[in-house]
């Protein structure tokens, strides 16, 4: 219910676009030949309450920045596919063999990561961050990605506003929508707490928190892009 299914063909196309992105950003062209970037680029990580338009913001930013979006479905597919996973890891290992181990040490030094955390997913997230110039939605990215090269965003909205929007846009009964939102919010919070032992509602994890009941998605995107420029300038001045 209310979950949008993605066809296998669409998923494969998304993964192929992702591989082109890794080649283009890190190695200077779609064929993977060229100069590697001088240092890691910036990544946007979006956390969201269910129905708070986090995915809509990701798509709006992707349109403006011409960056790919990695959501839960794509991340899980990359983590599960050996060939695709190997391709992205290889790019990082070729450019900087010590980057992943150093980055993961930084993660485990900041948060406690549960043993059952997907063995491949953290490396996928960190590898995407190494390639940079992308948007990652969910999957605990704000707890894993290096803070200095990541703009962490959270999208929130009051429950009644989220219910009203979904009822208006999708036509489901309000009581059914409310129950589904509460279930999804609970599942997401449980996932973060189980894997990182952190409260995802703690505001200090985020650089920007948008109340999408009051702010439009385009307005949020404009503010995020301005903040992105500040993060980029800070990196340049290091």
Supply angle C-alpha 184, 125, 53, rounded to 5: 35
**Residue pLDDT, tens place only, 220-238:** 999 999 999 999 888 887 7
- The stretch 33-58 carries a mean pLDDT of 81
- How many angstroms separate the CA atoms of 38 and 54, rounded? 31
Give CA torsion, residues 58, 140, 47, 145, to 10 deg.
Answer: -70
Q: How many CB atoms lie within 10 A of CB 146?
A: 17
Is residue 52 within 8 Å of 148, Cβ to Cβ?
no
Residue 216: the pLDDT is 97
Strands (E), 25-161: 43-48, 69-70, 134-137, 150-156
Averaged pLDDT of the chain: 77
Distance spanning both ends of the chain, measured CA to CA: 48
Share of the chain above pLDDT 70, in %: 63
Predicted confidence at residue 119, as pLDDT, reads 59
pLDDT at 29: 46
| Closest by Cα among 19, 37, 41 to 28 | 37
Domain boundaries, the chain: 40-231
Task: Give one DSSP letter per residue of 104-145, joined into a string.
Answer: HHHHHHHSPPPTTS-SSHHHHHHHHHHH-SEEEESTTHHHHS
Tokens 């985020």, residue located: 206
Give the tens place of pLDDT for each residue, 41-53.
Answer: 899 999 999 999 9
Judged against a pLDDT cut of 80, whether residue 145 lies above it is answered with yes
Query: Measuring CA to CA, which residue among 42, 67, 72, 77 is closest to residue 55?
Result: 72
Sorting pLDDT into bands at 50, 70 and 90, what band is 201? confident
- CATH number for the domain formed by residue range(s) 40-231: 3.40.50.300
> What was the pLDDT predicted at 215?
98
Element (H, E) at 74: helix 72-80
* pLDDT value, residue 188: 87
Q: Residue 11 pLDDT > 50, yes or no?
A: no
């Amino acid at each position: 219910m209310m979950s949008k299914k993605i066809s296998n063909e669409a998923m494969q196309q998304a993964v192929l676009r992702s591989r082109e992105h890794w080649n283009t950003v890190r190695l200077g062209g779609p064929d993977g030949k060229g100069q590697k970037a001088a240092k890691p680029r910036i990544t946007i990580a979006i956390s969201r309450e269910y129905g708070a338009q986090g995915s809509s913001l990701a798509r709006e930013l992707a349109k403006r920045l011409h960056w790919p979006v990695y959501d839960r479905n794509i991340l899980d597919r990359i983590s599960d596919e050996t060939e695709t996973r190997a391709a992205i890891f290889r790019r990082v290992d070729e450019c900087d063999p010590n980057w992943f181990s150093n980055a993961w040490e930084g993660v485990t030094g900041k948060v406690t990561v549960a043993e059952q955390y997907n063995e491949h997913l953290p490396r996928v997230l960190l590898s995407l961050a190494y390639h940079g110039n992308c948007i990652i939605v969910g999957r605990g990215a704000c707890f894993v990605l290096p803070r200095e090269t990541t703009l962490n965003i959270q999208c929130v909205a009051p429950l009644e506003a989220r219910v009203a929007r979904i009822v208006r846009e999708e036509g489901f009964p309000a009581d059914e929508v409310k129950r589904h939102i509460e279930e999804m919010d609970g599942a997401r919070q449980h996932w973060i707490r189980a894997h990182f032992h952190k409260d995802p509602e703690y505001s200090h994890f985020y650089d920007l928190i948008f109340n999408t009941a009051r702010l439009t998605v385009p307005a949020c995107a404009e503010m995020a892009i301005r903040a992105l420029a500040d993060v980029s300038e800070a990196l340049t001045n290091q």
